[in-house]
Each structure stands twice: as C-alpha cells, then as structure tokens.
Chain A
C-alpha cells in the first residue's frame, strides 16, 4: 500500500491507473451506500392468508383390486401345484409298483423257463432211453458214447441255470438299493418341508401375540366402565370380525349381572372398531375371525 501511495506522486503516466482505482473505489462505496440503507427498513413481506394442507394417500383402488386378484391367482396356482405334486407322487408310486410287478413276473418267467427246460431235458432223456432200449441191441456199442454225451449236456444245462440265477439275484439287489435311495430322498424332502412349516408356524404365532397386544391396547383405551363396579366382576364377550378389522358383532357370552357394565364392554369394542388384525389371511382366519375377550375392571375404585 505504501508503494501505491508513493506512486501517487509518480510521473503522469500513472494517472489513468490511479483514476481507474479511484473510480472503482467510489463505485464500491456507492454499492455499499445503496445497499446499506436498503437493508434497514426491510419490512417482513406480508404472508398471504393460507391454510396448511397435508397430503394423505389412500391406496390405489385399481392396484388394490389387482393385488386382490393377484392373491387369488397365487392361491389358485398354489393349489394347482399341490395337485400336480400329488399327481406326480401318485405316478411315481404307480411306476414303482409296476416295476416291482414286472420284476416279479420276470423272475417267475425265468423260474418257469428253468423248470420247462428241466422237464424237456427229462423227456428227452426218457426218449433217448427208450430209443436206447429199442436200439440196444443195434447200438449197444454206441450206448456208452451216447451216455457220455447226455452227461455233458446235462452238465451244461445246470451251468446255464446257475448263471441265470445269479443274474436275477444281482438285479434284485440293484432294485433294493434304488428303493432305499428313493426313501432317503423322500425323507430329506419331508424334513425340509417340516422345517419350513415350523418356521411359518412360528411367524404366525408371533403375529398372533403381537396383534393380540395391539388389539388389547386399543380396546382398553376405549373402555370406560360405569361407576359402582367391583374389580372382580367379569364380562365375557365373543367378537366377530371381518378381515379389515371391522367388528360385525359383539355378543355377551357371560354377563357380569350389571347391565351397565356389560353395555360399557360392548361399547368399548364398537368404539375400538376397526381393530388391528394381521394381514396374513390364514392367521386372521384361524385366530381373529371369532375370538373371546374377558373384561375385568381391575382398576376400579369408585
């Protein structure tokens, strides 16, 4: 700055720069000058009369409808699949049974064949014996030879039979193994299904507990009992709900004898409608479609 100051008295060629600087400073000053008082009388802008509105959303009707249909479709699909699985299982069973039958048949046939063969051999032997007898004289010398041959044949037949028996046994063993494997698979499948069912049941149980608490809270908030009640009086009511939680009927199953208290209970339930109910329709159906509440004014003092 000192330097600049000195330059004020510098040769005349600095004048334009000095001039420019002065003008700029004046400009800056002017900007402040105009800005400064403008800030002072800043009146609050009058806020136009208005009403605060909050946007509340309702579920889209078309979407809700679709959702409903979707659920129905899903249910139908589930049902169909169950049927399919059932069919498959039946088919499998049938196939297994057929196979078993076929095996049995095969075995039987094999046995019969063996028996027939043996019988044939017997017959052949007899015939040969007869021929032998007829030709005894003629071919007595050949007899020894024929006997030798027959012996060999018999031996071969026995050998064949043995082989067949072994094959049959092997096949049976294989079949047995296959059945065992299938049984194991099935057991595993069942275990998985059971686990899934257990998990679902647990979830549902939790839902029941949580909704029971919510329901009790809401009804307790709306229950105003009349004077002159005893803390040990009890009113038992049965409640019918629709899946939206709307109460359609409250019936006093067992009254307290004090009609005013009974009425206060009925009113409390109606006042609390709609009640919080689980979204899961199965849980709703099995627990909340119809249920019972015992009312006891335990905190009564007057």
Chain B
C-alpha cells in the first residue's frame, strides 16, 4: 500500500515537472484615461426631465481626468438595457466600458436603473437602481458617477462632495460664503457679511465649516452647521487669528494666532477648549494643515527667508523642512493617502499649483494657463485639486487633476471667487 502511494506521489511530481508552465512578466502598461461611453439614459415620459442624468454622469467622469468619455454623436446605437448592448460595436469604437440606463416614473419621483458593461470581457459589471424625487436627480446622477468611478478605478469618487468658497463683489463691500456641488452647480449662500470672510475649512464629518470673520471688527473663528445654519463663535483672541484647520479625527483645531505681528501656529483642543502654542519663532508661521495621522502638521514658514513648507510633529514640536525647489512655496495641502503634497509654487514671475511626491520628492507643476493661482484644496480621493485662479481682472475657481492632464473651470456668477475648500466624502 505504502509503495503504491509512493509511486503515485512520484508520478504526480513527474507530471508536475513536465507541465512546468511558461510564465511571462508584463511590467509596462499604459497609464492613460480609461475610454468609457455613457449612453443617454432612456426616458419614455412625455415631459422633459428636470436634469440630464446621463449628461451629468458623463461630465463627472470626463472631468475626473481618469476617464475619456466618448461623444454621444459617435454612438452607433443607444441601448437602454444591458441586453441591447452589442459588444463588438463598442469594441470597434475602442471603448472599454459602456454605461447604459433608463429612467422611469416611480410614484411622484423617478427610478433610475443603470448598468456598467465590460466591453472586452463581454459581461455586466454592475447594475443598480436608484430612486428619488425630481429635485434629487442631480444627486442621483452624482451618486451614479461615484458608483461607476469606484467600480472602475478602485478608488472612491468625489462627485457627491461639496465645495465652500468665498465670493466678493467688485467694490469689496459684500462678502459671501457659498456652498455648491463639486462641479460648481447648485450654488447656495450660507453666510453673508459686509466685512471680510476668510479661510473656510470643513470639519471631517462634513456637517459644519469653520471660517474667520471680521464682522466684529476683529478676527474671530466661527463654526457654522450647514443643515441648520447655526453659528458658533469659537475663538476670539487678542491680536488676530486665522487659518483654522480641523484634525482628521475632529478633536483638534489648528490655527494661526498673531500678536504684535508675529504669527505662530497654535492648536485648540475642541473638547477642553484649551489652546496650546506649537511654534515659537520670530519668523512667520502660518497656513497649518493636518496630515492623516492626526499628529503631524504641514505649515508655511519664512524662517529660511522666503516662504517654504515645513512639517511639524505636534507631540514633540520638531520641525522639518519639506520643500527645497524654488524660493516660494506656500499654502500646502496633503492628499488623504499621504502620497502627495500640493502647494503654491512660484515659477518665474507667476504662481502655479505644484504637486510633490512625498516618497520620491519629485515636483510637478500642474497649472500653467493663469498667472496667479492660489489656495489649492485637494479632493478627498486625491484625484483633483481645486484652486482660485486670476483670470483677466477677476478671480475664478478652476480644477486640475493631480497628474495635470485634465483642467476645467467652474462656473460662477458673482464677482471674485476665492479660497475654495473641498468637503470630505459624506
């Protein structure tokens, strides 16, 4: 019996050795936008829909920089269901994925069903049905975009996120704090004042924002709940306070306090309401921003002459310089995955948004169209950066993908737009 077993095992080994398979290593792929077709969603109703759902999805995906959306005019057929998709047609059109869907009435609202089809493997990757009222169709569209984005790229989408930003009129007599979709649509006014409003920042839960208002004549940090509009004066100190920044766990608020003209970084414990001074340097220390570990801060300091970006360990107050390229680097933001540092970088006479890879130290300037790009804010998935750009004689919002490939401008109706802040994912 034993010998028979041994024989069998030996046979297996021999067979395995004989079937030693060919192994090929593929290490060079293309890193380019994924071609995707978003077929207009079918709608059989008599009246026009309040929102073009598939159009919003296409716009979202195309604007993310990770997708190349095919123009509708080139579509041969416009399938509405998964069964109607003829894969070879789409592979002739060189698309990798097709999004199809249809909208139907559901009570007094709508039901949107959508499918994502893999053209090359000829399978349905995902199907989903979302319901909502007519006013929610835009949210539904962003939700679909997020869903598709997550499925196809593996990282979460940010199309349902929001922005807050400050607008001013020409005479600088009216300052508004606005709230809008990440694509700039559906702008709402959340606070208005005849004194300046600066440095809006999101709480990590996405329910409230912090900002600095001059309404009392002196600078003070306010919190405002978005759902209720309730405001809270959080900090008012002798001298000036500015640049509030919530720690990722939401327990602390870093800010800048300046008394007798020497700004330094402070931190406020939101539970105990106690402040602590983190830097004490005769040079300017400003614009703090937390890193994802709740422990380190990045900030701008002029301690080496011109503004450069430094890292501060809040536990031992140790400071480390992070930027060396150029003589002006300021207003840093760190992506949530901790891989990239985004800041304002002066190249020549103009100011641009630059990204620095924190592992390799490689710096890439992302913008080039405008001369004065300010206050970058990074999307919570790290794919896009929104910033204020000076165009002609006014300031507008613009966005650029972190690889610098895709750029677009956000619509705005009102005077100057400054200091955008991108919300976390809700």
Q: Do A and B come from one complex?
A: yes
What is A's interface to B at a CB cutoff of 8 Å?
Answer: 208, 212, 215-216, 219-221, 223-229, 238, 250, 258-261, 263-264, 266-268, 270-271, 287-288, 290-302
Name the CB-closest residue of B to A268: B29
Out of B27, B96, B151, which one reaches A224, CB within 8 Å?
A: B96
Please indicate the chain B residues that have their CB under 8 angstroms from the CB of A287 in the complex: 22
Q: Are the CB atoms of A260 and B120 closer together than 8 Å?
A: no
Nearest to B122 among chain A residues (CB) is A270
- Is B34's CB under 8 angstroms from A270's CB? no
- In contact, B31 and A302 (Cβ under 8 angstroms): yes
The answer for the CA separation of A229 and B30 in the assembled complex, in Å, is: 12
What's the tally of chain B residues with a CB closer than 8 Å to chain A?
27
**Are A227's CB and B24's CB within 8 A?**
no
| 10 cross-chain pairs, A with B, having the tightest CB-CB distances, nearest first | A260-B154, A223-B29, A270-B120, A291-B22, A298-B27, A228-B155, A267-B120, A226-B153, A258-B154, A293-B24
Q: Does the CB pair A302–B155 fall under 8 Å?
A: no
Among A219, A224, A288, residue most surrounded by chain B Cβ atoms (within 10 Å): A224
Q: Which of B112-171 contact A (CB under 8 A)?
A: 118, 120-121, 125, 151-155
The 8 Å CB contact of B26, one of A219, A238, A300, A301, is A219
B262 within 8 A of A: no
Q: A216-B26, A268-B29 are in contact. Are A292 and B34 (CB under 8 A)?
A: no
Does the CB pair B403–A290 fall under 8 Å? no
From the candidates A224, A270, A291, name the one contacting B30 in the complex (CB within 8 A): A224
Chain A residues within an 8 Å CB radius of B22: 208, 212, 287-288, 291-292
Complex CA distance for A242 and B266, rounded to whole angstroms: 68
B32: nearest residue on chain A (CB-CB)? A224
Q: Would you list 25 pairs from A and B whose C-beta atoms are within 8 A, ordered by A residue?
A: A208-B22, A212-B24, A216-B24, A216-B25, A220-B28, A224-B29, A224-B96, A225-B29, A225-B31, A227-B31, A228-B153, A228-B154, A228-B155, A238-B21, A260-B151, A266-B121, A267-B118, A267-B121, A268-B29, A294-B26, A297-B29, A298-B27, A299-B27, A301-B31, A302-B31
The contact of A293 among B23, B121, B151, by CB within 8 Å, is B23
Shortest Cβ distance from B270 into chain A, in angstroms? 32
**Closest B-chain residue to A267, C-beta based?**
B120
Q: Do A260 and B153 have beta carbons less than 8 Å apart? A: yes
Chain B residues closer than 8 Å to A208, beta-carbon distance: 22
Q: Which residue of A238, A259, A264, A299 is within 8 Å of B28 (Cβ)?
A: A299
Whether a CB of chain A sits under 8 angstroms from the CB of B383 is yes
Q: Does B211 contact A (CB under 8 A)?
A: no
Tell me the smallest distance from the CB of B375 to a CB of chain A, in Å: 23
Expressed in whole angstroms, the Cα–Cα distance for A152 and B23 within the complex equals: 90
- B356 shortest CB reach to chain A, Å: 13
Are B29 and A295 in contact, with the CB atoms below 8 A? yes
| A288→B24 CA distance, assembly (Å) | 11
Of the candidates A258, A288, A298, A302, the one whose C-beta lies within 8 Å of that of B402 is A302
Closest residue of chain B to A238 (Cβ to Cβ) is B21
Quick check: A270 and B121 within 8 Å, CB to CB?
A: yes
Residue of B nearest to A266 (CB): B121
Within the complex, which residue of B25, B29, B118 is in contact with A294, where a contact is CB–CB below 8 Å?
Answer: B25
Residue B66 interfacial (CB < 8 Å) = yes
Q: What is the minimal beta-carbon distance from A221 to any residue of chain B, in angstroms?
A: 8
Set of chain A residues within 8 Å of B120, measured between Cβ atoms: 266-267, 270-271
Tell me the bound Cα distance from A293 to B25 in angstroms.
Answer: 6
State A215–B25 Cα separation when bound (angstroms): 11
| Chain A residues within an 8 Å CB radius of B21 | 238, 290-292
Name the distance in Å between A245's Cβ and chain B's nearest Cβ.
14
Which residues in B have their C-beta under 8 angstroms from that of A216? 24-26
Q: Please state if B25 and A227 are interface contacts (CB–CB under 8 Å).
A: no
Which chain B residue has the least Cβ–Cβ distance from A293? B24
Closest Cβ neighbor of A295 among chain B residues: B26
- Complex-state Cα separation, A5 to B322, whole angstroms: 105
State whether A227 touches B26 (Cβ < 8 A).
no
> Across the interface, which residues of A come within 8 angstroms of B125, CB to CB?
263
Check B66–A226 contact: CB distance below 8 A: yes
- A300 engages B154 (CB within 8 Å): no
Smallest Cβ-Cβ distance to B152: which chain A residue = A260
Given contacts A267-B96, A291-B23, A294-B25, contact A299 B152 (CB under 8 A): no
Q: Is the CB of A292 within 8 A of B31?
A: no
CB-CB under 8 A from A302, the residues of chain B are 31, 402-403
List 9 extra interface pairs beyond A259-B154, A296-B27, CB under 8 A: A250-B121, A270-B120, A271-B120, A287-B22, A293-B23, A293-B24, A295-B27, A297-B27, A300-B31
CB distance from B317 to the nearest CB of A (A): 33
Within 8 A of A (CB), among B28-52: 28-32, 34
B119 nearest CB neighbor, chain A only:
A267
Docked Cα-Cα span, A44 to B120, in Å, equals 51
Is the CB–CB distance between A291 and B34 below 8 Å? no
Residues of chain A within 8 A (CB-CB) of B66 are: 226-227
Chain A contacts for B118, CB-based, 8 A: 263, 267
**Min CB distance, B56 to chain A, in Å?**
21
Which A residues touch B29, using CB under 8 A?
A: 220, 223-225, 264, 268, 295, 297, 299-300
Also in contact, A291 and B24, with CB within 8 A (given A223-B30, A302-B31): yes
CB-CB under 8 A from B403, the residues of chain A are 301-302
Query: Measured between alpha carbons, how far is A181 from B27 in the docked complex, in Å?
Result: 58
Q: In the assembly, what is the distance between CA of A219 and CA of B155, in Å?
A: 25
Most buried by B among A221, A264, A268: A264
What separation, in Å, do the CA atoms of A264 and B32 have in the docked complex?
12
A302 to B153, CA, bound (A): 12
Q: How far apart are the CA atoms of A287 and B18 in the complex, in Å?
A: 11
Shortest B182–chain A CB gap in Å is: 17
CB-nearest residue of chain B relative to A298?
B27
A301 to B29, CA, bound (A): 11
CA–CA, A115 to B418, complex, Å? Answer: 130
Q: How far is B30's CA from A221's CA once the two chains are assembled, in angstroms? A: 7
Near A by CB (< 8 A), chain B positions 73-118 give: 96, 118
Distance in angstroms from A298 CB to nearest chain B CB is 4
